[in-house]
Structure 1
Amino acid sequence: MLHFEGSSLLRHHIVCSILSKRPVRITNIHDDEDPMGIQAHEANFLKFIDRVTSGSSLQCTDHNTTLQFTPGMILGGSFSHEVPSQRCVTYVIEAALLLLPFAKFDSRITFVGATQGELDLCVDTVRTVTMRWVQLFGVQSSLRIIRRGAAPGGGGAVELDIKAIRRLTSATTKERGRVRRIRGIAFASRTAADLPQRTATAAKGELLKLLPDVYVVTDVDNSKANRNDRVSGYGVVLVAETTSKLCVISQESVAMPQESPEDVGKRAAQLLFDQIYEGGCVDAHHQMLVLLLMALSPDEISTVRFGQLSASGVSALMLMDSYFGVSCAVKPDASFAGPNLPPTTLVTCLGSNAVNVWKKSS
């Protein structure tokens, strides 16, 4: 049994435990916080794990600060799951994208809760960028936004479809290329229509200084469904596409209290500029996902160019080694744009050849 401390990687420990079929014991979970122990959103995630698996065993002790987990079979299936409105539905969806391709059945799950917030990726980023990375590794998946709802009120809903597959495919993306166009969506729920429009205009104003091909649309959801439970909110997602078709870089910003739409748009544009400056093919939000997919790939070489590895990227390397026995070659490499830009990071590994033993081979 593997042993770890802390709560920062609880979701990923559970996911890796299931995929590697190795039990895990996690201690000191929020032991210095009030309330201590497993929080509401983490308990909700464990409830989701219980619904999509069969035979898994969970045991919480020491005032819920210690969790012992024994993995079972991944079932998948069709059902609805409500996520606490303090976190976005993407808190659970990110884990589902790693688990459900290895399920016994295809999955169609409706997630109800907040679709945008400060702590998690918004659903537009997952739909436009995260899905591309998952599909690059051979997973057929889609995300449909039914209605929007901002944290902490929630009230939104999305539908996730994932096909069960036998195994992933390996992926190599070393050529970053130059940014050829930027697309975006300014979203809002229960707000005046001019707020996302002003956000989009401000973001475009910054982006057009460097690139002519910029297009940002708006999507305002003022439907009456669950209106009493929903709070207002808006933000913007920006996606940079390069001359290399395998490279997409994204950033987002959600309006803070008393923040003007113009500031929201400019902040998103500046965050995107910073991410492009890093020079990698994968933005910081998706380093964990891509590295874990590389670990689950067939026993073939996968190579991906990252910018500077984020904290989550370094944690992913630890998870890959601990659960799957996959060690990566991490090599600094000069930026293609010249010596004035920071070096990038080439990560190469041999996958663990994870196989979906629950799905019959066709």
Structure 2
Amino acid sequence: MKISILTSLLILLSLAAQTSPVLKIKFDDIESGNIFLINVQKELTDTLSINNGKVTYEAKIAAPTFFYLIVDGYNNTRPLELVLSSQLTEMKFESYKVVGENTVNEAYPNSPIFISDPNNNIAFFEFLSHWKSFYNTIQALSENDSEEQLEKRKNTYHTFLSTNKQIIENNSDQYVSAKMIDFLLNNNLLQFETLQTYYDLLSPKVKESYLGFKIGEKSGKAGQLQPGKPAPEIALVDIQGKKYSLQSLKGKNVILHFWSSSCAPCIKEAPDLLKLQQGNTENLVVINFSLDTDNSKWKKGIERAGIEEMINVCDLQGYNSVTAKSYDVTFIPVYYLIDANGNISLKGTLSQITEKIKEDMP
């Protein structure tokens, strides 16, 4: 029997649209209820029913994708984070507890037991365990700003990053590694150099993924904030009430420096930034954009950094600032060098910016 071309095409389309189980969950102590499974990339939510303590999710997933999982009535404010793909992920929960909104400093009580874990989600839960320990230690060390406490916080931070760098490196070919970096970015725990280092650990496959590309944008290695692209316009008012825009500064090179009074590396670099400004007074303008949300802390930070004579601006919106968002600022310190034509010359560290200025403005 001959099959027409149209029939063959319909069969192929039908096969392409077919879904298969990509997630199975078993609860030992929940018989019924609803689960909300949120595809973060597509911003779509599927509602699944728990029947006799079991749930099966069928979907067509072309590439590893990041999901939020919420058991209605238990963890609505603290979603469980998962990477799912076309391969079946199976897990079970022996006891699923209610998670409050203010339990960020507690060990997450609903970590699953994985029966099959093709995307190595277990590595992310190991990562979260280190994060909880780090968070608790930092909170305990934040009672005062003594030199001893500051040094302990610094060492704890570097230990935390070193431990998790190894986890990311061990999973460089897994999408979950990008999820870990994204988590660090969202919690403002990566400086620019560290982000670039972490991004370079990712395999080409992960770099091409949804989260991988987003991380590449933030690291200055992809996207619209690349060298040669027009810099986003700014409309800033400094502490003296003077207005600045890239249009008004055309003909001069501009360093846009994002920092805050609570950022120890920012304060430490301030003398070198001031020195760079003073050595290039005719053709370089430095604008210090603070992400502080408290006016008094911002002004005290300016004094502490010794940058009172420089241009200092702050809209007290923190990371929600329109300017910070337009420059995709998710960590500090970070510097943008904008050339005399209003185009981005470089996004980088102070040392990278300084070298670039030496090359272009001898």
| TM-score w.r.t. length of structure 1 | 0.26
Q: Which has the higher helix share?
A: 2
Q: Which has the higher strand share?
A: 1
| TM-score w.r.t. length of structure 2 | 0.26
Q: Which has the higher contact order (CA 8 A, sep 6+)?
A: 1
